Amino acid sequence: MNHLQTVNIILDSYSALICLILIIYLWTNGKTNEESGLFFMLMCISDLGMLLGDIASWAFEGLVKPWYPFALRVGTALNFACTAPLLLTFIGYIMAYLSPKVTIRRYIWNAACALAATQFFFSVLSLWNGMFFYTDSDNLYQRGDWFWLSQLIPFLIYGIVTTLILRYRRYLRPRDMLFLLSYVVLPLIGEMIQIVNYGIALMGTAATASILLIFINIQSKRELLLKQQEKELVEARISILISQIQPHFLYNTLTAIRQLCDLDPKQAKQAIGDFALFLRANMNVLESKAPIPFSQELSHVQYYLNLERQRFRDRLRVIYDIGAKNFAIPPLTVQPLAENAVRHGIMRREEGGSITLRTEETDTAYRIVIIDDGVGFTFLPEPSKGEPRVGIRNVRRRLEELCGGSLQIESIPGTGTTAIIIIPKEGKSNEFFTC
């Protein structure tokens, strides 16, 4: 075995290993459920068969032992037979890739199948009649009289592939078209080199390189698609959470104003003014799906608590201890907690109570603390009794999804409840949301 044979076997072996890895990945990850994924795996299988046949051709050529001539002829036949299916499956992949956007005429596929079947049939037949290849008495590969046909058929299929790509290029991104054309250009160059210079095996390696490039392009597109889907999922979830919170807050505010209209029209007028300020200052916030400055959220809470103080008067006392403001927080995060403190803590005491809103900064995070001296609880009340569980669950989700924050709640029955929001300075960041 000469050095060139050794190099060819090494190149084919590495290429075969890459194809095998891709096949295992596609099979184990369920990528073959889609038609395009199935055709892509068939491309890898065809290339693997061609490479294994080529390895056998180089490994057993020139060695005269009892079964070596048979191994050489079978390997060579496998190499020839897999050439056309390798291109045929690529046509199927392109058709599946374009199927959501365009319908390709069936006769194109039928013509490619006919060419591939002819190549496969004559390659197997060459084991007996030597039309494509034969082996001499020294167990050396020789080209048959019809060798030209074994090269013409792949060239014809190359033509079909190229025509498809160029014909429907408007449905492909430039990057996609470039990677798909690589499957034509690289193997074609490798095959032409092999035709002119026998002894250099580049066809299989070139085809494997093209398959790998296409796979990289597929994976990059899937990654972008997953990121887009994650973004849409987060936005949809945030929209749902906001839609749950907004009507709840508005309903309670309007109910409070309605009650004040009967009890104290002057205070009702003041409450309407506060409510108008709230709407004007926070209309954009209600539609926001990204973190906002804490000062905006603080204004939101202050308007809410002003309305509640006008409703409950001396029964509700509010203390602000704002030590840090220069950070961002998901919108409608603090207000639901303040509302829970008022409705489910303080107002359940006959004499009422106080709520304290405190912010502070540490080396690693910002902390928002909401303290009430209400009735407290051992377990959260059932959702049917005001749904605090829903509001708290929403706040936790929003904190985690928008900035990697967290919510801790501590409560002692008869003493009160403390809610602590922690916003890490190095929060959970992604390209959609940052705190």
User: How buried is 177 (Cβ within 10 angstroms: 0-12 exposed, 13-18 middle, 19+ buried)?
Assistant: middle
Q: Report pLDDT for 433.
A: 40
In which band, very low, low, confident or very high, does the pLDDT at 420 lie, cut at 50, 70 and 90? very high
Q: Where are the alpha helices (DSSP H) in 288-418?
A: 294-312, 334-340, 388-403
Cβ proximity of 52 and 16 under 8 Å: yes
Task: Provide the whole-model pTM.
Answer: 0.53
Question: Residue 322: pLDDT above 50?
Answer: yes
In which band, very low, low, confident or very high, does the pLDDT at 418 lie, cut at 50, 70 and 90? very high
Q: Residue type at 268?
A: A
Question: Residue 148: pLDDT above 80?
Answer: yes
Q: Where are the alpha helices (DSSP H) in 264-372?
A: 265-287, 294-312, 334-340
Which has the higher per-residue pLDDT, 295 or 138? Answer: 295
Q: Report pLDDT for 73.
A: 85
Which has the higher per-residue pLDDT, 382 or 108? Answer: 108
Give domain 264-424's CATH architecture. Answer: 2-Layer Sandwich (3.30)
CATH superfamily of 3-225: Rhodopsin 7-helix transmembrane proteins (1.20.1070.10)
Q: Report pLDDT for 430.
A: 35
Average pLDDT estimate for 5-21: 86
Cα(274)–Cα(295) distance, integer angstroms = 17
Which has the higher per-residue pLDDT, 389 or 366? Answer: 366
Q: Beta strand pairing status for 316-322 and 353-361?
A: parallel
Which range among 157-161, 226-230, 261-265 shows the weakest confidence by mean pLDDT?
226-230
- What percent of the chain lies above the pLDDT cut of 90? 14
**Alpha-carbon distance values, 245 to 157, 250, 357 (Å):** 61, 9, 20
Residues 6+ apart with CB under 8 A from 380: 388, 389, 392
Q: Report pLDDT for 160.
A: 87
Give the full edge-to-edge strand order of the sheet including 353-361: 316-322, 353-361, 365-372, 416-424, 406-412
Domain assignments of the chain as residue spans, ordered by start: 3-225, 264-424
Cβ proximity of 296 and 330 under 8 Å: no
In which band, very low, low, confident or very high, does the pLDDT at 384 lie, cut at 50, 70 and 90? very low
Question: Residue 242: pLDDT above 60?
Answer: no
- What percent of the chain lies above the pLDDT cut of 70? 85
Question: Residue 172: pLDDT above 70?
Answer: yes
Which range among 44-48, 139-143, 193-197, 310-314 shows the weakest confidence by mean pLDDT?
193-197
Q: Each residue of 45-87: pLDDT tens digit? A: 988 988 898 888 888 877 767 788 888 888 888 888 888 888 8
Q: Report pLDDT for 372.
A: 94
Which range among 96-100, 187-191, 282-286, 355-359 shows the weakest confidence by mean pLDDT?
282-286
| Spatial CA neighbour of 370 closest among 382, 385, 350, 388 | 388
Q: Report pLDDT for 408.
A: 92
Q: Each residue of 332-350: pLDDT tens digit? A: 789 889 988 988 889 888 8
Question: Residue 387: pLDDT above 60?
Answer: no
Question: Residue 136: pLDDT above 90?
Answer: no
Question: Residue 117: pLDDT above 80?
Answer: yes
Q: Report pLDDT for 434.
A: 43
Q: Report pLDDT for 40.
A: 86
Please tell me which of 50-54, 174-178, 225-229, 352-356 the model is most confident about, judged by mean pLDDT.
352-356
In which band, very low, low, confident or very high, does the pLDDT at 407 lie, cut at 50, 70 and 90? very high
Average pLDDT, rounded, for the chain: 81
In which band, very low, low, confident or very high, does the pLDDT at 427 lie, cut at 50, 70 and 90? low
User: How buried is 297 (Cβ within 10 angstroms: 0-12 exposed, 13-18 middle, 19+ buried)?
Assistant: buried
Q: Each residue of 262-302: pLDDT tens digit? A: 887 887 888 888 788 766 655 655 556 678 889 888 988 88
State in Å, rounded, how far the first CA of the chain is from the last one.
65
